[in-house]
Amino acid sequence: MKLSRKSLLACAAALALSVAGARAASAETVHVTVSYYSAATGPYFEKMAAEFHKANPGTDIKIDVVNWDSLLQQLRTDIAGGTNPDISIIGTRWLLDFVKDDIAEPLDGYMDSAFKARFISPFLQHATIDGKVYGLPIAASARALYYNKDMLTKAGFPNGPATWDDVVAASEKLKAAGTPGFGLMAKGTEVDVYYYYALWSYGGDVIDSHNKAAFDSPAGVRALTLYKSLVDKGLTQPGVTNYTREDLQNLFKQGRVGMVMTAPFLINQIAKEAPKLDYGIVPVPKGTTSSTYAVTDSVVMFKNSKVKQAAWKFLDFLFTKEPRVEFTKGEGFLPTTVAEAQDPYFTDNARLKTFVDLLPTAHFAPTITGWEDTAKAVTDAVQSVYIGQAQPEAALKQAAARADESLGK
């Protein structure tokens, strides 16, 4: 009896304490949702939250780490239920939907020109809709081709392929040696993007200036025909529709495929998991022109937030040099602010420099409603061609018609 009374007292005390604690915190709590990029993401943001709290004891930052695949879904649910965070990381290509539903807060009122000048301007431009900035670019990446140096040297391209003809020639040599040359992904997310690399390199584009699907152009057909011929000739890994981006990266790490196109974060992964792998990075192979794909993720503030000033203060802190460098280094992204780009980590790293140098010719995923539907239509089309159910031109025409149903709506 005595014991239980004692524990009851302890419970009451704990309760009182926690209530007191909640009161102190309720002064201002900023809820932040971040996407899980790697094992380093959570600890990084927790550390930043703690540092910020030390400097601003009145403000508590609550970090919620959400898996990328379920991020949009969770935000949708939260928004519909009115329980959304104050700020969140989102894919910049989703931004228009947020703006259209009047969910995102325009940020121009919070920043002066000095703040704007912190960013590498195309990145900030990308998150600007109708002249208003709605998102701050927090993560950026571009795509390039990784090649296995040992394999490509034997195939006669010690400095990697420069054009699609080189890719074909090298893959044929590698096939004769018994390994697949060109890694092609056709499962999971970004199947469409893998096709866009070739589309852009032939001078095509996904969407034209009237916001209509344009990937069924001759350039698009040529790009898809090229990939299909690689599949048919056995120059890719077998069963391409069975490989996600991660599967392909794993094959590359194991030295089981000669070439793979992906983002800079593979550098960090190889350093950790396959440090002995000798590889180089070159731009996406040239067709008629050279180009790459750039992606940014942005931080948005929600219109219904009650702690906008505190949230902004935290963002201001996140976008100073040291936090930026630590984040970008840890995740293997590309710098989005001018100051971090000057850090020796980025200027002295030849592999990363390949990516940074590509940025001027980079295509961004356009901020347009219906982008996900377009991605789905293109993914279906490419897959149907790879498994031999459809011809490139017919499949692309059909996908364009499907995409047009949703684009801009």
Partner 1 sequence: MSTTTAARTAAAAPVRHGGVRLPLAPWLLILPSLLLAFAIIGYPFYQIVFLSVSDVSRFGLVRGFAGLANFTTIFTDSIFLGALLRTAEWTIGVVAGTLAISIPIALVLRQDFYGRGVARTIIMLPWAISLAMAAIVWLWSFNADYGMINATLRELGLMHGSVQWMAQAQTAFPAEIAVGIIVSIPFTTTILLGGLSSIPGDIYEAAAIDGARPWHCFRHLTLPLLGPFINIAVVLNVIHVFNSFPIIWVMTQGGPDNSTHILVTYLYELSFRLGRPGQASAVSLAMLAIVLAFTIVYMRLRRNEAIQ
Site for partner 1, rule CB under 8 A: 72-73, 75-77, 79-80, 97-98, 100-101, 103, 186-188, 238-242, 251, 256, 369, 372-373, 376, 379-381, 383-384, 386-387, 389
Least separation, in Å, of the C-beta of 187 and partner 1? Answer: 6
Please identify, using beta-carbon distances, which residue of 218 and 239 lies nearer to partner 1: 239
Q: With contact defined as beta carbons under 8 Å apart, do 35 and 67 qualify?
A: yes
Separation between Cα atoms, residue 20 and residue 207, nearest integer Å? 56
Give start and end residues of each alpha helix (H) in 143-232: 149-154, 164-176, 191-201, 218-232
Q: In angstroms, what is the minimal distance from the CB of 372 to partner 1? A: 6
Instruction: Please answer whether residues 147 and 282 qualify as being in contact, where contact means their C-beta atoms are separated by less than 8 angstroms.
Output: yes
- At its nearest, how many Å lie between partner 1 and the CB of residue 379? 8
- Which residue's CB is nearer to partner 1, number 142 or number 260? 260
Could you tell me if 103 and 95 are in contact, meaning their C-beta atoms sit under 8 angstroms apart?
A: no
Q: How far is the CB of 174 from partner 1 (least distance, A)?
A: 17
Q: Which amino acid is at 235?
A: L
**Least distance in angstroms from the C-beta of 80 to partner 1:** 4
- Helices 218-232 and 392-406 pack at an angle, to 10 degrees, of 130
Whole-angstrom Cα distance, residue 159 to residue 142?
20
Smaller CB separation from partner 1, 122 or 188: 188
CB of 296 to partner 1, least distance (A): 20
For partner 1, the closer CB: 78 or 340? 78
Indicate the pairing of strand 135-142 with strand 128-129. unpaired
Minimum distance from CB of 234 to partner 1 (Å)?
A: 12
Between CA 369 and CA 209 the distance in angstroms is: 14
Residue number with CB closer to partner 1 (1 or 80):
80
> Based on CB atoms, which residue is closest to partner 1, 18 or 77?
77
CA distances from 188 to 18, 33, 67, 220, 375 (A): 44, 24, 15, 21, 11
Tokens of 141: 């990446």
Determine the Cα–Cα distance for residues 328 and 141; give it in Å rounded to an integer. Answer: 10
User: In the complex, what is the shortest distance from the CB of residue 317 to partner 1, in angstroms, rounded to a whole number?
Assistant: 29
Q: Closer to partner 1 by CB, 26 or 389: give it.
A: 389
Contacts of 117 (CB under 8 A, 6+ apart): 338
Looking at beta carbons only, is 76 or 212 nearer to partner 1? Answer: 76
Residue reference for tokens 């700020």: 87
